[in-house]
Amino acid sequence: MPVDPVCGIELDEELALIHDHDGKKVYFCCSGCRRIFLKKPRKYKNNI
Ligand SMILES: [Zn+2]
């Protein structure tokens, strides 16, 4: 199951927001988490 790297919750792949980061798919629960990730991708990339 994909995990949101910002808030750490497990996501349903079909419902998650998908973002492509350096060729890697990143899943988010909401646009708020995506925005936080995009501000500081280095802080969260180890959680991808
Ligand atoms: Zn989240």
Angstrom distance (rounded) from CA 17 to CA 47: 16
Give residue 14's pLDDT. 95
Give residue 8's pLDDT. 97
5 C-alpha vs ligand 1 centroid, how far in Å? 7
Q: How far from 15 is each of 27, 32, 44, CA to CA, in Å?
A: 9, 15, 21
33 C-alpha vs ligand 1 centroid, how far in Å? 5
Residue spans per domain, the chain: 1-43
Q: How far apart are the first and last CA of the chain?
A: 12
Q: Which of 40, 13, 43, 39 is nearest to 26 (CA)?
A: 13
Give residue 28's pLDDT. 98
> Which of 1.10.1760, 2.30.170, 2.60.40, 3.30.720 would CATH assign to domain 1-43?
2.30.170
Angle at 22 between CA 26 and CA 34, to 5 degrees: 35
Give residue 33's pLDDT. 98
43 C-alpha vs ligand 1 centroid, how far in Å? 14
Judged by DSSP in three states, 13 sits in: coil
42 C-alpha vs ligand 1 centroid, how far in Å? 16
Q: Tens digits of per-residue pLDDT, 1-48?
A: 999 999 999 999 999 999 999 999 999 999 999 999 999 999 999 998
Give residue 35's pLDDT. 98
